[in-house]
Structure 1
Amino acid sequence: MMIDLNADVGESFGRWRLGDDEAMLDVVSSANVACGFHAGDPLTLTATCRLAAERGVVVGAQVSYRDLAGFGRRFMDVAPAELTADVVYQIGALEGICRRFGTRVGYVKPHGALYNAVVHHDAQAAAVVDAVLAYDRRLPVVGLPGSALLRRAAEAGLRTVAEGFADRGYRADGTLVPRSEPGALVTDPGEVAERVLTMVTQRRVVAVDGTRVQMRVESVCLHGDTEGAAELARAVRDRLTAAGVTIAPFVALPTEQGQTPGERPSSPETVDG
């Protein structure tokens, strides 16, 4: 079995520090790097991309609403054409930084309120897909299983990657519990590790009401801003490897020499998902 572990990184801004990117990048196989719209400044993103490249971690563009004040966690009723332009801009900016270190953007994943919006908001989901098509149709799109985003992306011929969350609570319908509600976050390392193992090996997660939700995922997200994030990430990785699960990115590491961003590693055998 194989699973990708991803984390949100590059989210500091100027003198304001969030998370321990270096510690997270020692654990995960893919990095959702902020692109400056919800967090991240050029120096922060430069340091983050350098660290990822040095560790062989795939960089993904974590695109967002233009919402620095709200950390991208407020819904914004952005016109589709504007949202498409914003997403293309963010991918291109991050890729420019990546190229300094001999790597490239390997996938696209929405952040925060945009991630939750494109679960059901068809127009914004289509706008994100249009941006990926315009920039590089080889880039996979990461999102919630059953979301409008993944449906739209698949219809457009893009590779889709279903994602689970290690440290977030689920509702019975497979959507995430809003951060404003009880049960939104799971912070005990042992509990988080067991949840992820069940998600990967049994393809299910227990919702806050006790419902067993079936899901198949190729990648599991560990939020870099969750309290004790590095400890949670290490607990998850240790539990998975102890159970014989290989941690590896869902795409081959893109390079400036032209390696295809959407190419999968040839081995080991992957989890169907």
Structure 2
Amino acid sequence: MSKQVITLNCDMGESYGQWVMGNDSQVMPLIDMANVACGFHASDPKTMANTIKLAIQYDVKIGAHPSYPDRLGFGRRTIAMDSDELTYSLIYQVGALKAMCASFNTELHYIKPHGALYNDMLQDHSIFESVVDAAACFSIPLMMLAHPDNQPFLDIADRYEVPLLFEAFADRAYMSNGMLASRSQNGAVLTDSEAVINQVEQILQYGKLMTLDGEVIEIEADTICVHGDNPQALKILEDLRAIF
């Protein structure tokens, strides 16, 4: 199989104080884009700064990874918020990371929402519009799940002149509606490197993948994500780099 060039992104900087999440120092050299937590589901100012410095060291693009205000739930619970309240919350988080980047003379390149907010914006166009509204303040792209029908999202983003980056997940199973399978389902998180590589091959070579409920859907992605909290993240990234 001929080697392919792919862009890998990963959620990073999700530690908090003395509590450590992930293996950033070993993962960072293997990725191209770091989705850095902004403090509302994980991270703190020092963790954000250290993650930025690590990204600079390995020439990795920095993106903001904001969430609902849900530190206890790691951002994986839906929080009911008014549209403007959500937009202001995101501006607050992304603005903090952007300022931290400026302190190290580097740039913020994109925004990728985290957890429940990421899932909710894909199912509720009003939530998506609140997120796009925040992204427009920074004139940077918004990363979202590559979906069989991206047009409604493109239409909203175009009104705000916000570019979209479409991603596919290497280590998560999909459902036939194009959404990620719930983590509560068996097989929703792929930890076997061979299964991950097979899914990425299907996406890159054919623009398709097999869903958890047995359907084939079309996926066109600009970048591939591996979750930093996947216990096999380091091996998965090493294997992907070696093959592609």
TM bracket (short chain): over 0.9
Residue 85, structure 1, aligned to residue 80, structure 2: no
Alignment correspondent of 1:7: 10
Alignment correspondent of 1:46: 49
RMSD: 1.4
Q: CA deviation digits over 1:68-126, x for unaligned, max 9?
A: 00000001111111110011111110011112222111001110000000001121111
Task: Say which of 28, 43, 62 aligns to 1:59.
Answer: 62
Residue 145 of structure 1 aligns with an amino acid whose one-letter code is A
Alignment correspondent of 2:182: 178
SS at match of 2:100: helix
Mapped to 1, the partners of 2:86 and 2:107 lie a distance apart of 22
Mapped to 1, the partners of 2:188 and 2:155 lie a distance apart of 25
Q: CA deviation digits over 1:152-186, x for unaligned, max 9?
A: 22342211111100100100111100111112101
Mapped to 2, the partners of 1:191 and 1:232 lie a distance apart of 10
Residue 68, structure 1, aligned to residue 51, structure 2: no
Task: Say which of 28, 34, 38 aligns to 1:35.
Answer: 38
Residues 143, 150 of structure 1: 8 Å contact kept = no
The TM-score, its normalising length taken from structure 2, stands at 0.93
SS at match of 2:224: strand
Task: Say which of 19, 22, 26 aligns to 1:23.
Answer: 26
Mapped to 1, the partners of 2:159 and 2:166 lie a distance apart of 15
Mapped to 1, the partners of 2:172 and 2:118 lie a distance apart of 14
SS at match of 1:6: strand
Mapped to 2, the partners of 1:127 and 1:31 lie a distance apart of 23
Residue 124, structure 1, aligned to residue 124, structure 2: no
Alignment correspondent of 1:245: none
Structure 2 unaligned segments of length 5 or more: list them.
none
**1:150, CA displacement in angstroms?**
4.8
Residue 41 of structure 1 aligns with an amino acid whose one-letter code is D
**1:26, CA displacement in angstroms?**
0.8
SS at match of 1:26: helix
Residue 197 of structure 2 aligns with an amino acid whose one-letter code is A
Report matched runs for 1:106-255 at 5 Å: 106-133=109-136, 135-137=137-139, 139-146=140-147, 149-240=153-244
Aligned length: 238
The TM-score, its normalising length taken from structure 1, stands at 0.84
Mapped to 2, the partners of 1:77 and 1:214 lie a distance apart of 32
